[in-house]
Amino acid sequence: MAKRFGNKVVAITGGSEGIGLASARLFADEGARVYIMGRRQARLDEAIQEIGNGAVGVRGDASNLADLDRLYERIQRDHGRLDVVFANAGVAEVEPRPLGTIDEEGFDRLFGLNVRGMLFTVQKALPLLSSGSVVVLNGSVAGSKGFPGQSLYNASKAAVRSFARSWTTDLKERGIRVNVVSPGGTETSPMRSYLDARPGVEDMLNQLVPLGRLGQPDEVARAVLFLASSESSYIAGVELFVDGGSIAV
């Protein structure tokens, strides 16, 4: 059977763990030449071993423009083009920060990666993209909700949704599609650590989800690959919720 991403070049920020890593593995399994960016070299090296298939790791922070330049310079040298960008890197506040307790440092950290970093992840990739290329942004159900104490995170993910709308119109003449995948609660390592330290929270979250459980990174990753593939060729500017029905029901 032909592989959907045979010889396609794919870049993933935040690709060394969680949804980014799960997506990188699936892309590589389907023939893609995968480049991932992560901040910690040791974890990046482990991820490259897990992905296999000639995947390449570039150490860097997606909120650092020089690091993004190094990622794309490497891809330019190796292939001279880029077919898929999965702008996945992001951060969330572990502890609630209700209005009245938000400080500059927290704002700059969260918006610096989730909004500024995402914008420049895509903008700096544009010289490598051509007609038929695809951009997938990692959003969140938080962009459509008002979770208490999470106004910074909620707003940053609402910005991601807005980016997809605006960039779909900005890039339509170039034939580049932009869409958002928006996970609900997903059992990544940080999420598991958070839940294990707070007995009862997981049961409470599960009760809010019609399917009654957290999602798995691979389940979100399969949605990412769908949006990045020709199977979604007439889908642009949408937000695909992968949340067990929590937004829709």
Would you say residue 51 lies in a domain?
yes
Would you say residue 248 lies in a domain?
no
Q: How many CA atoms lie within 13 A of 142 on its CB side?
A: 23
Question: Measured over all CA atoms, what is the biggest interatomic distance in the chain, rounded to whole angstroms?
Answer: 56
- Structural domains counted in the chain: 1
User: CB of 8 within 8 A of CB of 84?
Assistant: yes
Say how many C-beta atoms besides its own lie within 10 A of residue 189's C-beta.
11
> In tens digits, what is the pLDDT along the chain, a chain of 249 residues?
569 999 999 999 999 999 999 999 999 999 999 999 999 999 999 999 999 999 999 999 999 999 999 999 999 999 999 999 999 999 998 889 999 999 999 999 999 999 999 999 999 999 999 999 999 999 999 999 999 999 999 999 999 999 999 999 999 999 999 999 999 999 998 888 888 888 999 999 999 999 999 999 999 999 999 999 999 999 999 999 999 999 999
Would you say residue 53 lies in a domain?
yes
Would you say residue 79 lies in a domain?
yes
Which residues are annotated as catalytic? 153
Would you say residue 249 lies in a domain?
no
DSSP one-letter string for 229-242: SGGGTT--S-EEEE
Would you say residue 3 lies in a domain?
no
Domain containing 166: what range?
Answer: 9-242
Would you say residue 63 lies in a domain?
yes
CATH number of 188's domain: 3.40.50.720
Would you say residue 1 lies in a domain?
no
